[in-house]
Structure 1
Amino acid sequence: MFFVLAISGVAAISAAFYFFKTSKEMPKTWYEWKTELRFQYIGMVGLFEDYLYRHRNKVVLYKQPEKVVVITGGNRGIGLRIIEKLLECEMTVIMGVRDPKSAEKSVGEFVDLKNSKGKLVIEKLDVGSLASVREFGKKIQQNYEKLDILINNAGIMFAPYKLTEDGFESHMAINYLGHFLLTHMLLNQLKKGGSEGKNSRIINVSSVVNLIGRINYSDINMKKYYYPATGYNQSKLAQILFTRHLNKTLEEEGSPVQVHAVHPGVVDTDLFNNTSTTHIPIFKKILFKTPEEGSRSVVFAAIDLSIENDGGTYLSNCTRGPMHPDAKDFEKCKKFFDFSCDLVKLNNFGDGRV
């Protein structure tokens, strides 16, 4: 009997590994196997927590017609449902996307834009290009004196190895460095948007995989060795370290801005297109959150009054979640922040100049 149970358990684990691995190909080296096993473990923890804390995953929407929000991406998946909620709050929502026409069509499938009391503005932005980020940031600086919320949402996951036009590994460029530069450019507007007891907010959409991330200072672009999950994990830890350092700095300055990192959950979106889960879409429908459910924690971080003046946190299912040990060490957070400034050639973060 024990032998049968053991064989069944091994078979179940093997099947889960085969169908949920981060690449459509099997790992080839011990390092890749180890990375996959760690990812599978943290993914199962994430699924379990999404189920266990699903009753907490709620956000109350309320009218805020005076607020102006900038969000990167938003033409698919979680981002679409975030924008739907923000427009329901009657906010002015500025989308930065690569294809504005397609984005307007996508949002229009969820929101009656002609009759919505919220306002949608769509601008061109490729967050993986620092030149595009600079152009978008300057346009926002010129057109909006103040901002209330910045949601760094756009991202990729488990993509094949690619260097951007700026020479950065694509996960690091799109998930983190583009948003790092954009935050620098818009920080003055966010400070003007906040006031005592009513902070502006910066939301970095991260992931539970920050817990198994590692910053490779000696080869940040992974030119010597690359595995998609490693690139993704590194970029998500980067967002957490940035969140922690920036929030601490703003608190010390007395600036009316707070910063949060958010794990939306394990969500059924096309970000999983590069993984083996495409073989079993029914499993994703059963086990993963819907995009609407995934949007709740992000919007919670952006608007919920219960977390006012409680920045620097990592939120999951609308409550605090565990962070990587390095994120609890402010010296390590500062080290990475300074490293990021060097990468994008910034001398005075937050002054908006490029």
Structure 2
Amino acid sequence: MRLLAFILPVIRLYLVGVKVLLYQLLNKSFSLPVFPKQNGRVAIVTGGAKGMGYETARHLMSLGMHVVIAGNSEEEGVAAVKKIQKEKNEGKVEFLYINLASLKSIRQFVQKFKDRGLPLHVLVNNAGVMLVPEKKTEDGFELQFGVNYLGHFLLTNLLLDTLKKSGTADSCARIITVSSATHYGGIITLDDLQGRLCYSSHGAYSQSKLALVLFTYCLQQRLTARGFPITANAVDPGMVNTDLYQNLCSPAQLVKRPVAWLLFRTPAQGASTSIYGAASPEMEGVGGCYLYNGRRTQSSETSYDEDLQAELWKESCALVGLQDEGHRID
């Protein structure tokens, strides 16, 4: 049974991967239209120092936004800022340290940002890890669940009050959360979210990405119910040639190299749907969507389970300690 529990997530993930590659073989990557300038708007992009996060930060800054790159490597963050600044666009870009594997670091980041007195119009939850060996965060959570999902869950909730103040009825603040097609094969087991019974790096990754979609839908329902000027959408970037694949096993790495060269999207192409969700006039006031290749599409059947959304939200609040801090949208 343990062997089966380990193998099934691997099969599900790679089947999803094959479907995505077939789609990318037969369909062109979404091309971003020209968006109006958005001077004065402030954005935070987690994992914005490299890969899709870098391309997202770079493009939002080119639109005139003040972009805060949030990452766990000051060296990479400072280098990314210098590189973007060379393009001499109208916007601003800076780096602030955050470690999404530490609840303390997340709270410190939010406090530093709030101390600046800046508004916040766009939050892009982009950072993530994939297929890592079994490890735990500083707070004892399974690493992929902790970084990809719980870290962004806490970050988003702690920034909601700033987002509420920054959005208006005709210009909503926007939350963009990067999920993955792997969520279609994800399974949420509420009594074993940490994968302690039988750890599978493939299953843990798929679970974290499904959790992000469930969170996005639940968040949008709660924001709408209270009439807050914020929209929340999930994004699927497709299969993109980034460093995320460094944890593939050796045989998979050998196969991945030629396949990636032929069929994977570039980081800029992968970032295009995140940028669309964050900046497109077409997405004004539109929330609760799953965006793929620049279009709204259906996410997994499980992701629309409102009871599961609510249960996961409640459990997540307990795990990160939000139940006593008044940040929940009840």
Instruction: Return the TM-score normalized by structure 1.
Output: 0.87
Partner AA of 1:344 in structure 2: V
Paired residues of 1:203 and 1:301 also in contact (CA < 8 A): yes
1:29-51 C-alpha deviation (Å, 9 max, x unpaired): 33333222221211111122334
1:33 matched to 2:7: yes
* 1:341 and 1:349 in contact (8 A); partners too: no
Task: Specify which of 293, 298, 311 is matched with residue 322 of structure 1.
Answer: 298
Report the 3-state secondary structure (helix = DSSP H, G, I; strand = E; otherwise coil) of the residue aligned with 1:215.
Answer: coil
| Cα deviation digits, residues 33-83 of structure 1 (max 9, x gap) | 322222121111112233444254434333111100011111111111111
Compared CA separation, residues 47 and 92, structure 1 to 2 (3 A) = same
What one-letter code is carried by the residue in structure 1 that aligns with 2:291?
A: L
CA pair 289-350 structure 1, distance change in 2 beyond 3 A: farther
Deviates more, 1:124-133 or 1:52-61: 52-61
Percent of residue pairs identical:
33
Are 2:319 and 1:343 equivalent residues in the alignment? yes
> Is 1:205 the equivalent of 2:181?
no
1:221 aligns with 2:221: no
Report the 3-state secondary structure (helix = DSSP H, G, I; strand = E; otherwise coil) of the residue aligned with 2:290: strand
Name the stretch that deviates more: 41-50 or 74-83.
Answer: 41-50
Name the aligned partner's letter for residue 172 of structure 1: F
Runs of 5+ in structure 2 lacking a partner? none
Could you give the per-residue CA deviations for residues 103-145 of structure 1, whole angstroms, max 9, x where no partner exists? 2213434x34473321112111111110100000111122134
Structure 1 residues 180 and 98: alpha-carbon distance in aligned structure 2, compared to 1, 3 A threshold: same
Stretch moving more, 287-296 or 72-81: 72-81
How has the CA–CA distance of structure 1 residues 244 and 272 changed in structure 2, closer, same or farther, with 3 Å as cutoff? same
User: What is residue 165 of structure 2 aligned with on the other side?
Assistant: 192
Distance 1:252 1:50 in 2: 37
Report the Cα distance in structure 1 between the residues aligned to 2:327 and 2:11, rounded to whole angstroms. Answer: 43
Q: Quote the offset at 1:146 in angstroms.
A: 1.9
Alpha-carbon distance in structure 2 between the residues aligned to 1:113 and 1:61: 21
TM, length-normalised to structure 2: 0.93
- The alpha carbon displacement at 1:329 in A equals 2.3
- More displaced stretch, 257-266 vs 54-63: 54-63
Aligned partners of 1:244 and 1:348: how far apart in 2?
23
1:58 to 24, 32, 38: 32
Gaps of 5+ in 1: 1-27
> In structure 2, the residue corresponding to 1:203 is in which secondary structure?
strand
Query: Which residue in the other structure is 1:106 paired with?
Result: 80
Which amino acid counterpart does residue 93 of structure 1 have in structure 2?
V
CA–CA separation in structure 1 for the residues paired with 2:264 and 2:36? 27
1:77 and 2:51 are equivalent in the alignment: yes
| CA deviation after TM superposition for structure 1 residue 332, in Å | 1.8
Give yes or no for contact 1:72–1:151 (8 Å, CA) kept in 2.
yes
Distance 1:99 1:39 in 2: 29
Note if 1:88 corresponds to 2:62. Answer: yes
Structure-2 residue corresponding to 1:250: 223
Matched, 1:293 2:269: yes
- The range that moved more, 64-73 or 100-109, is 100-109
**Which of 290, 293, 309 pairs up with 1:333?**
309
8 Å Cα contact 1:145-1:192 kept in structure 2: no
CA contact (8 A) 1:159 1:171 kept: yes
Structure 2 distance, partners of 1:258, 1:221, is 29
Q: Is the 8 A contact 2:29 2:269 kept in 1?
A: no
2:152 is paired with a residue of what secondary structure?
Answer: helix
- Secondary structure of the structure 1 residue equivalent to 2:196: coil
Kindly indicate whether residue 238 of structure 2 is the aligned counterpart of residue 262 of structure 1.
no
Q: 2:211 & 2:85 partners in 1: Cα distance?
A: 37
Post-superposition offset of 1:299: 0.4
Deviations 1:76-105 (A, max 9, x none): 111111111011111100111112232221
Counterpart in the other structure of 1:283: 259
Distance 1:187 1:315 in 2: 22
The 8 Å contact of residues 150 and 201 in structure 1, kept in 2 or not, is answered as: yes
Q: Which amino acid aligns with 2:287?
A: G
Partner Cα separation in structure 1 for residue 151 and residue 132 of structure 2: 17
Instruction: Flag the structure with larger Rg.
Output: 1
Report what 1:146 is aligned to.
Answer: 119
The residue type paired with residue 299 of structure 2 is: M
Q: Deviations over 1:236-293 (max 9, x none)?
A: 0110010000001101111000000101110011100111443242321111001010
- Distance in 1 between the 2:99 and 2:17 partners? 29
Q: Give the equivalent residue in structure 2 for 1:178.
A: 151
1:123 partnered with 2:96:
yes
Alpha-carbon RMSD across the aligned residues, in angstroms, is: 1.9
Q: Could you say if the C-alpha distance between residues 348 and 261 of structure 1 is closer, same or farther in structure 2, counting changes exceeding 3 Å?
A: farther
C-alpha distance in structure 2 between counterparts of 1:340 and 1:209, whole Å: 21
Q: Distance in 1 between matches of 2:217 and 2:85?
A: 37
